[in-house]
Amino acid sequence: MSRPPNTEQRRTEIVNALLASMAEHGYEKATIQVIAKKANLSPGLLHYHFKTKNEILLALVKTLAELSRARYFEFSKNASSAEDKLQAYINARLGKGDGANPAAVAAWVVIGAEAVRQPEVRLIYQESIKEELALAQSLLTACLKDKRKSLKNAPRLAAALLAFMEGAFQLASAAPEAMPSGYAAETAYQMVQRYVDGEKILGIRNL
């Protein structure tokens, strides 16, 4: 008797196949046939797990968000201060080295473009961005509190940091040779440091 298919494993393989296909060909040219070939599956078996390519795309958005968060947790596990955790977050999202995945970055940029075109993708993309913004703001707020600085502009700084990151992803995918190697993580952290250092020191009751 044959064993039942490992549904979760198959779904993961299919999602990873879409990621690789999008990084190489973009979303439009990442057809079901191309994805199935990447996953070493027949198109029919692929449709057993996902009814449409759009369903795979929605699963990929969630997967990429989870991968980003997992890399941050790995980078921050030895962080002892709020500043260390903030730096770990920036390095996890923008740094090279262990866990860096250029294909995932390229796929994320394509997903951003699809979010403009497809309402379903836009909704899940926006939720991912909101979660990322909340994490960035909480890390920045903790850092400002440690230094007894005003928290008033933390939401705007978090938004600026996230916008910088998304722009860095776009450039890393579209014009990698035009940008200085390794600039993104270092520049983002310097930007944040200068902002934090420039804030007025407040009394504890004013924080």
Q: Single out the residue in 27, 51, 75 at which a domain terminates.
A: 51
The answer on 185 and 108 residing in a single domain is yes
The answer on 129 and 193 residing in a single domain is yes
Q: What radius of gyration do the chain's Cα atoms show?
A: 20
The answer on 181 and 158 residing in a single domain is yes
The answer on 182 and 132 residing in a single domain is yes
The answer on 70 and 32 residing in a single domain is no
The answer on 172 and 94 residing in a single domain is yes
The pLDDT, as a whole number, for residue 96 is 85
Q: How many domains does the chain have?
A: 2
The answer on 66 and 36 residing in a single domain is no
Q: Please report, for the domain that includes residue 125, its CATH number.
A: 1.10.357.10
- Sequence letter at residue 149: K
The pLDDT, as a whole number, for residue 169 is 95
pLDDT tens digits for the chain (207 residues)? Answer: 344 457 889 999 999 999 999 988 888 899 999 999 999 999 999 999 999 999 999 999 989 989 999 999 999 999 999 999 999 999 999 998 888 889 999 999 999 999 999 898 899 999 999 999 999 999 999 999 999 999 999 999 999 999 999 999 999 988 989 999 889 999 999 999 998 888 877 654 544
What is d(CA 46, CA 6) in angstroms, rounded to the nearest whole number?
13
Encode the chain in three state secondary structure: CCCCCCHHHHHHHHHHHHHHHHHHHCCCCCCHHHHHHHCCCCHHHHHHHCCCHHHHHHHHHHHHHHHHHHHHHHHHCCCCCHHHHHHHHHHHHHCCCCCCCHHHHHHHHHHHHHHHHCHHHHHHHHHHHHHHHHHHHHHHHHHHHHCCECCCCHHHHHHHHHHHHHHHHHHHHHCHHHCCCCHHHHHHHHHHHHHHHHCCECCHHHC
The pLDDT, as a whole number, for residue 7 is 84
pTM for the full model? 0.86
Q: Single out the residue in 29, 51, 73 at which a domain terminates.
A: 51
The pLDDT, as a whole number, for residue 203 is 58
The answer on 72 and 42 residing in a single domain is no
The pLDDT, as a whole number, for residue 202 is 67
The answer on 70 and 45 residing in a single domain is no
Backbone phi, psi, residue 63, to 5°: -65, -45
Q: Please report, for the domain that includes residue 18, its CATH number.
A: 1.10.10.60
The answer on 93 and 150 residing in a single domain is yes
For residue 131, what are the domain limits?
Answer: 60-206
